[in-house]
Amino acid sequence: MNETAVLGITQAAHYVEEVDSTSSTSKEQLEIELADARLLHRLSIELIQEDGIAGLYKKIVEAAVAIMRSQYATIQMLYPEKGSIGKLRILACSGFTPEAEKYWEWVYAYTGSSCGEVLRTGKREVIPDYRTCAFMQGHPTLAVFLEGGILAAQSTPLYSRTGQLLGMISTHWNHPYDPPQRHLDLLDILSRQAADLIERTNNAEALRASEEEKNALLLQLETMVEERTKELKRSNEDLQQFAHVASHDLKEPVRKIRTFGLRLKNELSDTLNDNSRLFTEKILESASRMSTMIDGVLNYSSLNGIEQKMELLDLTKILSDIKHDLEVLIEDKGAIIHCDQLPVIEGDQVLIHQLFYNVINNSLKFSKASEPPVITISSTPVLIHETAYLAIKVSDNGIGFPAAYKDKIFDTFTRLNAKSKYEGTGLGLSLSKQIVERHKGFIEANGVENEGAVIIITLPVQQS
């Protein structure tokens, strides 16, 4: 049950008991006082039900009129952000004409009135007669009150339970009047209920404003994300289109350089001296590297545009296919590849094939000239944050690399060795890293110069 309503019911009930025990009061007066107490009791129950805030404010001012035996009443809310100490606005009134209600809609601290005085002092103000009130003399509002037939008033401040001024209840009479203390005591009960009602209204309004602000911010963020996503998608499409066009336009002249370079070499093979033959070979080698580079750039730029098709993959079968693809290179180098029986994981067939092709091809490419390459592939199940992963280790006995370059080798176009000695585009491991990350995995490299390298690929067993 609402704490304020309980307090109101309890205080009203106690007041009824006090009135019942007052033997000196006349029967007529006793019935009036009992009616006031029962009015507060009934209003407390209605506040529990909270059937429309505006309607409750109206009932409060009507109750104030009944308790104070007045002809007029208002309940006002303080807007502290307006003016130096804020200003009051009418929430509900009783007895005023629409014109008078409009005139008194806003009240400032400098306004000549009982509620203006309370706004200045913070204490209840009772004006038994406006014509003799000292602070009203000289105020233009004095004539407004007198012409409207209002000769007396009182204003009671409404404070929150933490001591913050929230507003006030005012009552007005059409004759000089000094309300008795027992009426003011009943009004204090009503004021406590009114203060809590205003505080609930303020909290609800603040919550609504906060929700609206949050929703507006979320909508703005969603709009921004949608716009940025569209821009990014359009940019990616433009880049992919550019890569395709550029690769086609670049490969055509490179192809002609290689074709006519070979023809020139064959036709002049008998007349070329050693220098000319060396120059021709360099032209053909450069053209070949350029063609490989263009293919690498195209593959790299197209990776994000590939739609992933997840399925169960037999890694042992994939590695067997890769050994078949690299058969010529393996035979030329006399390479030995040891491969454990690998488990089945979920992934994209095309991308996973490309991943291990790049890594194994890298081990073959950067082998020592003095001994055949030996590549060992093994796997270990691991658990990371309660998710099953498979750590696949590819180790070799090649030329290795300095430990300081363990992260740098995954950067785009990174080369740790002279291109004249080792072929390649510098895109293989960078492309491999992208593929691993698209599968929500990790890749790392460790190497010892002139002893070999180890690539560890950690992939989830299942793609969620």
C-beta separation of 52 from 16 below 8 A: no
- pLDDT tens, position by position, 407-438: 788 775 455 554 444 454 457 788 888 889 88
pLDDT confidence tier of residue 144, bands split at 50, 70 and 90: very high
Give me the pLDDT at residue 302, please.
60
- Look up residue 359 and give its amino acid: V
Better-predicted residue by pLDDT, 19 or 159: 159
Q: Which CATH superfamily is domain 3-208 in?
A: GAF domain (3.30.450.40)
User: In the structure, what pLDDT confidence band is assigned to residue 242 with cuts at 50, 70 and 90?
Assistant: low
Q: Count the neighbouring beta carbons within 10 Å of the beta carbon of residue 48.
A: 15
Give the residue among 304, 398, 405 at the shortest CA–CA distance from 351.
Answer: 304
User: In angstroms, rounded to a whole number, what is the distance separating the alpha carbons of residues 386 and 351?
Assistant: 26
Residue 142 confidence (pLDDT) above 50: yes
**Amino acid 298: pLDDT:** 65
* pLDDT reported for residue 292: 65
User: Quick one: pLDDT at residue 430?
Assistant: 82
* Rounded average pLDDT over 365-387: 91
Q: What is the pLDDT of residue 9?
A: 44
Residue 442 bridge partners (DSSP): 458
**Domain limits, the chain:** 3-208, 307-464
- How far from chain centre, in Å, is Cα 386? 27
Tell me how far apart the alpha carbons of residues 75 and 92 are, in angstroms, rounded to a whole number.
6
Beta bridge partners of residue 172, listed in sequence order: 72, 153
pLDDT band at 104 (very low <50, low <70, confident <90, very high): very high
DSSP string, 171-201: EEESS-----HHHHHHHHHHHHHHHHHHHHH
Give the model confidence (pLDDT) of 173-230 as tens digits: 999 999 999 899 989 988 998 898 888 878 887 788 888 888 888 888 888 888 888 8
Higher pLDDT, 5 or 116: 116
Q: Tell whether the model's pLDDT for residue 14 goes beyond 60.
A: no
Give percent above pLDDT 90 in the chain.
36
E strand map for 80-185: 87-94, 106-107, 125-127, 152-159, 165-173
Which pLDDT value is given to residue 151? Answer: 96
Secondary structure of residue 238 in the 3-state scheme? helix
What CA–CA distance (Å, rounded) separates 104 from 96?
10
For 84, which DSSP code?
S
Note the pLDDT of residue 22: 45
DSSP-derived secondary structure for 329-395: HHHHHT-EEEEPPP-EEEEEHHHHHHHHHHHHHHHHHT--SSS--EEEEEEEEEEETTEEEEEEEEE
At residue 247, the pLDDT reads 62
What is the rounded distance in angstroms from the CA atom of residue 239 to the CA atom of residue 253?
21
Mean pLDDT score of the chain: 82
Q: Retrieve residue 215's tokens.
A: 């929703």
User: What counts of helices (H) and strands (E) characterise the chain?
Assistant: 12, 13
Sheet holding 165-173, edge to edge: 106-107, 87-94, 72-79, 165-173, 152-159, 125-127
CATH architecture of 307-464: 2-Layer Sandwich (3.30)
Per-residue pLDDT at 5: 46
pLDDT confidence of residue 6? 44
Contacts of 157 (CB under 8 A, 6+ apart): 118, 122, 123, 124, 165, 167, 168, 191
CATH topology match: 3-208 vs 307-464? no
Question: What is the structure's pLDDT at 377?
Answer: 94
pTM of structure: 0.46
Residue appearing with tokens 């081990």: 363
Q: What is the pLDDT of residues 274-314, one digit of tens each?
A: 788 788 887 877 777 667 666 666 665 566 555 667 889 99
Give 137 or 244, the one with higher predicted confidence. 137
The whole-number pLDDT of residue 457 equals 93
Instruction: Name the token pair of 81.
Output: 């952000």
pLDDT at 129 over 80: yes
